[in-house]
Amino acid sequence: MIVDDSVVIRGLISRWIEAEPDMVVAASLRTGLDAVNQVERIKPDIALLDIEMPVLDGIAALPQLLAKKRDLIVIMASTLTRRNAEISFKALSLGAADYIPKPETTRESSGADVFRHDLLQKIRYLGGKVRRKVSATTAAAPAIVREPVAPAMPSVASQAALVKRSFGPTAPRVLLIGSSTGGPQALMALVSEIGPVIDHYPVLITQHMPPTFTTILAEHLMRSARRPAHEGIDGEAIKPGRIYLAPGGRHMRVGRQGGQPVIALDDGPPVNFCKPAVDPLFTSAIDVWQGAVMAVILTGMGSDGMRGGKDVVAAGGSVIAQDEASSVVWGMPGAAANAGICAAVLPLNQIGPKLVRLFSGDRS
């Protein structure tokens, strides 16, 4: 269900979706009020909800839509302004599954192409949970057979079998975290539980997120952790007691300057279709901390972090992945788990306590 007051945007997105063999436009509506009034009749799996609309805007319509259809997956759409970034974060706290920044204009093909790629990927991955639920409950019913749209992942019960490594022999001296879809909520929950780690060690985070949004996320992380958190600045010294977040639109790596670990921002091409990407952070940290790296891969689409995680493990470090049940999308952590590089695959609420124990010297 597409909900946007722009007829141009509705038409463009409708054409993109109808061109996909596994997606159908259930409805194309102009206002949030139209969506609220029709959602029970239309019964969409996913709603793409614009923030700025007449009569009833997206943030006001969101709780009403979820009240009428509790399993509705809502993706918020907005332009890249600070106000809309703040509203998008509020929407996540109210139950939206994800957000997507709209290009300033659809006349620029590059901006439209990125928007199209990201939107279809989010719909496909988030819709994968709906498809699995439907197939589980209607297994005996006749169904149209279609090609799978997302990589098959092991069941929750079998995830323990994916843990094939013990934690590295070297005590960790830095915590690296990578995340994407569902990441902001997961990150804020995690940093609130690892105060003892942050107090004595640096924490570096890459979250797939555009500019402006990362600025807001850093502020939210600071409030959740009650410790300093900010976007990384090129050349700044990395110190314990601080959280460094990769700024939107730039890769964050780690380097050395005068023997001191420093932030190195990179304006190179996207990695794994992402900028910032997790792999460059993970891999670059090995040159500074060798095997004393602890890497955590949280909820997110795709496989970013898996290759960097392999490098971390090869250097003697360790990787923890979030489990499927607590992930919004088990793409990134699932890729790491399936690669056999994880020392643990844990629910989100167990990762924080585990990190506190590991950084305090408990290697069990």
**Per annotation, catalytic residue among 28, 88, 180, 327:** 180
Unique residue bearing structure tokens 């060798």: 290
Q: Three-state SS for 331?
A: coil
Name the catalytic one among 50, 57, 304, 311: 304
Residue 355 belongs to what H/E stretch? helix 348-359
Q: Are 284 and 308 in contact (CB under 8 A)?
A: no
Let me know if 304 is a catalytic residue: yes
- Cα atoms found within 13 Å of the Cα of residue 131, Cβ hemisphere only: 18
Q: What are the b/e assignments for 201-229, b being 16+ CB within 10 Å?
A: bbbbbbbbbbebbbbbbbbbbbebbebeb
3-state secondary structure of 61: helix
The sign of the CA dihedral 12, 112, 182, 133 is positive
208 is catalytic: yes
Q: List, in sequence order, the alpha helices (H) in 176-290.
A: 183-191, 195-200, 213-225, 278-289
Among 50, 118, 208, 266, the active-site one is 208
| Cβ atoms 81, 54 nearer than 8 A | no
Crossing angle (nearest 10°) for helices 278-289 and 306-314: 10
Contact status, residue 195 vs residue 183, Cβ threshold 8 Å: no
Q: Let me know if 230 is a catalytic residue.
A: no
Q: Residue 118 and residue 75: Cα distance in Å, rounded?
A: 12
**Active site residue ranges:** 180, 208, 304
